[in-house]
Amino acid sequence: MAKKLEAVAGFLRDNKGKMLVAIAALLLVSLFFGIPVKTVFIIPLLVAAASFSTFYFNYFVAPVNFELVKLATVLAAVAYGFLPGLAVGVASTFLGKVLIGRIDEKLPLSMLTISLIALAAAIFSSANITALGVTLVLAYNVTMFSLTQLMGGDLMWNLPYEGTNFVFNMFLFVKVAPFLLQVMGS
């Protein structure tokens, strides 16, 4: 544990200048566009968390899918509107695929579907976050499952893959999303 903390401290020390430039850039974006500082910091955090949530695929290959892309997309769209939701969804989908080295024929479909999820979340932003999130995740999983199967996907991979993703995201929208939405808005 001490070695990990030492490594993190070293990373922070070595990249202090870059972090200060990034913070200054975020503050300038906030100032220039009139976006609240909190929002300008939360959106990159959502993108980073969602992008890295798929990183386990580099070490563990099985038909399970535990990711934060849909949670982050829906939360950003509900709290901040369609464009921030779209930015979070598309950026985290793309970066997540890059991080695991899976730029494949499903990427455009994933990006289109997550864009539609961001749009629907923004349109229905006054709905209960749990009901909205679970409904949109189900729509995403059914859509991707159907399209993947039409493209010749393996049923024994796709069914547990989309199923575990739905169950994981349902848990997140029931237990975590209401709290996070409250933090994002207050």
Q: Per the structure block, which two tokens stand in for 58?
A: 């580099």
pLDDT band at 146 (very low <50, low <70, confident <90, very high): very high
Residue 177 pLDDT greater than 70, yes or no: yes
CA distance 57 to 61: 6
* 70/16 same-domain check: no
Q: How confident is the model at residue 12 (pLDDT cuts 50, 70, 90)?
A: confident
42 and 28, same domain (yes or no): no
Q: What is the SS3 assignment for 149-184?
A: HHCCCCHHHHHHHHHHHHHHHHHHHHHCHHHHHHHH
My answer on whether 105 and 180 are in the same domain is yes
Q: What CATH number does the domain containing 126 carry?
A: 1.10.1760
Residue 186: the pLDDT is: 55
- 139 touches 117 (CB < 8 A): yes
Given a cut of 80, is residue 9 above it in pLDDT? no
pLDDT tens column, 44-101: 999 999 999 988 888 888 888 999 999 999 999 999 999 999 999 999 999 999 988 8
The average confidence (pLDDT) of the chain is 90
Q: What is the residue range of 147's domain?
A: 38-185
CB atoms within 10 A of CB 44: 14
Q: What is the pLDDT of residues 117-128, one digit of tens each?
A: 999 999 999 999
The span from the CA of 56 to the CA of 169, in Å, is: 17
Tokens of residue 162, six digits:
């989309």
| Count of domains observed in the chain | 2
Closest listed residue to residue 124, CA positions, set 82, 89, 94:
82
Question: Distance between CA atoms of 125 and 54, rounded to whole angstroms?
Answer: 26
Contact 40, 26 (CB under 8 A): yes
Do 26 and 46 fall into the same domain?
Answer: no
pLDDT at residue number 36: 85
Contact 129, 173 (CB under 8 A): yes
**Contact at 8 Å (CB) between 161 and 126?**
no
Question: Does 25 lie in the same domain as 64?
Answer: no
| pLDDT above 60 (res 13) | yes
The predicted structure's pLDDT at residue 29 = 77
104 & 149 share domain: yes
| pLDDT > 80? residue 2 | no
